[in-house]
Structure 1
């Protein structure tokens, strides 16, 4: 399913909430009454949508205005992100698992995309997996053919993962065959993320891997984020899915990035 088909399959309220998030990502804050005017809906409808987004930890309302939560400005809560682009994420993860060989040591980040390698990992065990992602740890802990290494640190509820200095030090004490990662956004040839602690963990994972694979669906090309992570040219393979803008495909081709569309 393409990104366009995914949007079309959403309910009217889901599309409206996505539009609200897009509007909030473009600026600091918006008056709620102005938001209603922009969307051409009633104040009651906007308040219902904001109540839903508030429960997801995505927005903050103060004195008649609303803004995206600063720490989640472009990287929404794990539970919210985990429900989006499911088919695309599974396709990317399945393709990534196809690049793993039995006996490899693999590090994977906290993204909701790389989580889905758990769905297909039985095909390439025995395997060593290092991760800071709680959902991956919980899913793989019962698999006897997976040597699971938890990268500790300070727990972040929004990302449902561990970060911080101790996590980064733990990562750097290992060397792995493969890093499987995703990103908040890709702008031009560069990866960006909103949170510095996520940035540091990703860079540490890249530094210990003999080979690096990036997973990205079409939505990764439509937003901005603050902190530069790396260039796509630093990855040995980029796996893409969905309706990737042609200008991005052309750019990857021009700089000879190895990529596959799955």
Structure 2
């Protein structure tokens, strides 16, 4: 998977912007190490366009989380911890932005709806707002959503089984896909690894198949995309953006991207 970070739009300076840039760098480092296992520290600095001092600060943070280990000018993924920590790491990124997206998504859900809900760390934040539209039925393969909503009154919770995947902290595989196909729902609440052009992509085939299954059974399809998703590429095409009734994105996304999507008929909601 190639990482396309050089074309990130420039924004005004400020503490929030600096934090977002650091989060984006650290996410890129984690992705690189998940793919390659190891990298030279100086190569990371060059590819990310930052100083060695900045890279060392990023690596200190990742090392404190138990995700990486430095060895003689290189950095390697802590394999035993990386898979266990991957979802937790993603869940800590861009939290305020993801909450805005989730609040806007829940506004498209009506009481009485059946909602299928993917395993993304973005859609998870809809847990904070879903009680405003209860009663609802929630169908999900995401362990964090199941744990969060299991005791919430007026939510009928249906857990999709299948093969447990530690990286995504959810269920996937043939059993999960078959279970999805047995339902028809009002709303699909989804996110994605990346947006490239007019399509969404992911790096994992089993994630692709679950997302495509969710798309097929939903009357209304809602996609939540934080700003960082426009700076990466991934191998597997999931769907065209045109299949979604609404694509919710933050106002911080580059105006050129916004205009391009709108000119091609994508129904965007800016939050």
What SS does the corresponding residue of 2:124 show, helix, strand or coil? helix
CA distance in 2, matches of 1:247, 1:179: 28
Q: 2:25 aligns with which of 9, 19, 42?
A: 19
- Paired position in structure 2 for 1:141: 150
Within the alignment, does 1:187 sit opposite 2:196 as a pair? yes
User: What is the TM-score when the length of structure 2 is the normalising length?
Assistant: 0.80
- Paired position in structure 1 for 2:89: 80
What SS does the corresponding residue of 1:207 show, helix, strand or coil? helix
> Quick one: structure 1 residues 6 and 42, their matched pair in 2 at CA, closer, same or farther if it must change by over 3 Å?
closer
Residue 67 of structure 1, CA deviation? 5.9
Q: Please give the residue correspondences for 1:115-154 in structure 2 after superposition, counting only pairs within 5 Å.
A: 115-154=124-163
Deviations 1:92-132 (A, max 9, x none): 11111111111100001011111111111111111100000
Residue 86 of structure 1, CA deviation? 1.1
What SS does the corresponding residue of 2:99 show, helix, strand or coil? helix
Q: Which runs of 5+ in 2 are unaligned?
A: 1-9
Residue 224 of structure 1, CA deviation? 1.3
- Paired position in structure 2 for 1:211: 220
CA distance in 1, matches of 2:229, 2:200: 9
> Quick one: structure 1 residues 19 and 240, their matched pair in 2 at CA, closer, same or farther if it must change by over 3 Å?
closer
Q: 1:235 aligns with which of 244, 258, 262?
A: 244
CA distance in 1, matches of 2:210, 2:13: 30
Task: Give the conservation status (yes or no) of the 8 Å contact 1:239–1:261.
Answer: yes
Q: 1:8 aligns with which of 15, 18, 25?
A: 15
- Paired position in structure 1 for 2:4: none
Q: Which runs of 5+ in 1 are unaligned?
A: none
Q: 2:263 aligns with which of 244, 254, 260?
A: 254
Residue 91 of structure 1, CA deviation? 0.9
CA distance in 1, matches of 2:133, 2:26: 42
Q: Please give the residue correspondences for 1:163-182 in structure 2 after superposition, counting only pairs within 5 Å.
A: 163-182=172-191
Q: Please give the residue correspondences for 1:26-105 in structure 2 after superposition, counting only pairs within 5 Å.
A: 28=36, 30-35=39-44, 39-41=50-52, 46=56, 49-50=58-59, 52-53=61-62, 56=65, 59=68, 65-66=74-75, 77-105=86-114
User: What is the TM-score when the length of structure 1 is the normalising length?
Assistant: 0.83
CA distance in 2, matches of 1:201, 1:6: 39
What SS does the corresponding residue of 2:208 show, helix, strand or coil? helix
- Paired position in structure 1 for 2:6: none
Residue 261 of structure 1, CA deviation? 0.4
Residue 204 of structure 1, CA deviation? 0.8
> Quick one: structure 1 residues 240 and 4, their matched pair in 2 at CA, closer, same or farther if it must change by over 3 Å?
same
Residue 8 of structure 1, CA deviation? 3.1
Q: How many correspondences in the alignment?
A: 253
Residue 152 of structure 1, CA deviation? 0.7
What SS does the corresponding residue of 2:266 show, helix, strand or coil? coil
- Paired position in structure 2 for 1:107: 116
CA distance in 1, matches of 2:264, 2:21: 35
Q: CA RMSD in A?
A: 3.2
What SS does the corresponding residue of 1:223 show, helix, strand or coil? coil
